[in-house]
């Protein structure tokens, strides 16, 4: 039995199948999720688990070479904007509608219980060498 890291078997397995340049979207409970990508829905109740908690856990296991978020996050959800800026110095900001369209290209979508606006990010997988 696995004893550390991400214990959710669906999420752990989905992460193991990712490759270089694959997109992983980490989203709040309100982001529309298109047909196509694998979805691991972690939402239990409003705000549980939080976007920050899930993102932190994912970043411990994923090599990320780029990230894209909605430009609106900085104004509508400054705490989330600061969190994203702290993890991704080269964070790319696009209009929210463009981020939603980008979600259709994701290989994996991880839905959190986050109930604050614009707590969404698309991560581009890198390689650890």
Q: What residue ranges do the domains of the chain occupy?
A: 20-125
Q: 35-55 b/e with 16+ CB inside 10 Å = b? A: eebbbbebbeeebeebbbebb
Is 20 catalytic? The answer is: yes
CATH of 20-125, one of 3.40.50.2000, 3.40.50.720, 3.30.365.10, 3.40.1650.10: 3.40.1650.10
Mean pLDDT for 63-77 is: 98
Does residue 10 have a pLDDT over 90?
yes
- How far apart are the C-alpha atoms of 122 and 129, rounded to whole Å? 21
pLDDT of 1 reads: 87
- How far apart are the C-alpha atoms of 115 and 87, rounded to whole Å? 21
Mean pLDDT for 92-104 is: 98
| pTM for the full predicted model | 0.97
Measured on CA atoms in the order 6, 7, 11, 12, is the torsion positive or negative?
Answer: positive
Model confidence pLDDT, tens digit, residues 54-69: 999 999 999 999 999 9
Model confidence pLDDT, tens digit, residues 22-64: 999 999 999 999 999 999 999 999 999 999 999 999 999 999 9
Which residue in the list 9, 17, 20, 104 is annotated as catalytic? 20
- Binding-site residues for substrate, in ranges, read 28, 96, 118-120
Tell me if residue 15 falls in helix, strand or coil. Answer: helix
Tell me if residue 72 falls in helix, strand or coil. Answer: coil
Model confidence pLDDT, tens digit, residues 108-118: 999 999 999 99
- How far apart are the C-alpha atoms of 96 and 75, rounded to whole Å? 12
């Amino acid at each position: 039995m696995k004893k550390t890291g991400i214990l959710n078997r669906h999420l752990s397995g989905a992460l193991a199948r990712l490759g270089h340049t694959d997109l992983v979207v980490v989203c709040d409970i309100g982001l529309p999720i298109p047909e196509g990508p694998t979805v691991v829905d972690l939402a239990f109740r409003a705000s549980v688990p939080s976007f920050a908690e899930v993102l932190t856990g994912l970043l411990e296991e994923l090599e990320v070479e780029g990230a894209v978020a909605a430009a609106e996050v900085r104004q509508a959800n400054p705490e989330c904007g600061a969190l994203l800026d702290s993890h991704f110095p080269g964070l790319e900001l696009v209009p929210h509608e463009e981020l939603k369209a980008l979600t259709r290209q994701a290989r994996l979508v991880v839905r959190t219980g986050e109930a604050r606006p614009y707590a969404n990010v698309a991560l581009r997988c890198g390689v650890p060498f």
